[in-house]
Structure 1
């Protein structure tokens, strides 16, 4: 059984069957469905290894993220997977846990396995590292901005601006003593959020004592522990900015156990806009982080580069805006009835 048998049975050309296998998005849906049905009836299975050798491709791309358990990064992975599936590609998914040596080790592994492209999320790699990848003719797309890596294919959201918007909102409501709970990982992303927070406080003429900044593991338990320490201060904050919704949920649980009302006694703003944030009591004010869309666009960009000549492809920088989702937990009187 071969491709010619499929073409004869389907009543189409060999070239059309080849397009279904290699470029399915270039074939009319009805034609593609008909050919796939014929393949199934004939029990035809393409020799993917031979196909890869012929096309000089492996049919796999790599995605490297900081945390495998982070729901936001799983949204990125979902966006990448949706595009890869459409292109009949497989994904190698690995997590660095913010370990630079681990990241470099995975990169070496990707090169050895000759993946067709790589997407790096919140990378610590330097320009020289990316040049080594490119010498192997493997295109790279970055998700998350790293100022040391200029003129690269990049998809990002401005975490500094997003954190600044959330901070400014709390100040406008009337909060001046604002604490911060942030995850120890991912380090680069949270550094940008802290920079946005500090700059906004400074611009508004407000100070934030060192004891108001607490780092913990990015988890429910981490948020709970950090909130415990903030609430034990002699002068506790009026509001808390938390760099992830998961930590914010843990912090809110500690506040409730301490008999505090949210937002009457203390306000909370998170970051991520996880689905659960709209079902809490009170509903969590948070920053919408467009993770799925970043993964989707990064994957589309990567495949565009893979299908073009590397020499002709010009680096693209794509900004996707984050938005503040105002709900009840921040104490904004005009928006307390907002549901989602």
Structure 2
């Protein structure tokens, strides 16, 4: 027991020391950054044509003998010279964006800048491809993400959505904006519905003689609560709000995908890509890799990624908070009265 006590004491001291160091570093970073403007982010652009070319050349080097490789390179050089002499029209451009969605649709912050940048150059002859992965999340967050994609449609630029794994609920709300939706055969799609859930511990509090009071101004300022006693009237109002949100969701999807039998697919169900094609939730079955490799043969393909420059204070803060805080935040978000697509 003495050993356990000593070890626990040592561990507590170590943790305290580490936390103290992190607090000092965060304070120093805060003082250092006072009065300074927040560092701007940076738009990173890479040409995927070069990436695919490098893959092919690396494979050729590995598989072909020296003589065959030399002959191939010579032939490729001749072909390139002939193409340069021919008067050719400028190739169209394909702008590739990525969206990896969480509950709060945090990737919207980068995507909005990427869209703003490409709209300064893109024309209706070009194309935007969004590689989308999301199981949905908060209504207002995915509403904003969808509005950002709508800017592309409003500019008259073709928008293609590629889904390799999942685009459900709020994720499908984003996907439906595309002029064309391409899905992998076993990707998960649909879930056109709304859900909200929260626990209620009022009976537990009463059992231990603990009072909890909720004061509101406005009849429906609070309908359901975690700690207070919920009423049937509050439940009915809460359900009414969910139904209204669901109706808005259905109308939004129907606006961009008029070919859908909306009442048939807006049940909250999900389908795999092959079944989703039959339901007209998607237009084609293909992986994003296959689609972009094909486009790279006839167009210039550019991948855009906007990255925020985090200050020292922010980096220290992330290290101090750790993954536990993020897990707790996601857990609490699901327990509160947030509405989810």
TM range, smaller chain: under 0.3
> Comparing both chains, which one has the higher relative contact order based on Cα–Cα distances under 8 Å and sequence gaps of 6 or more?
2
Larger Rg: 2
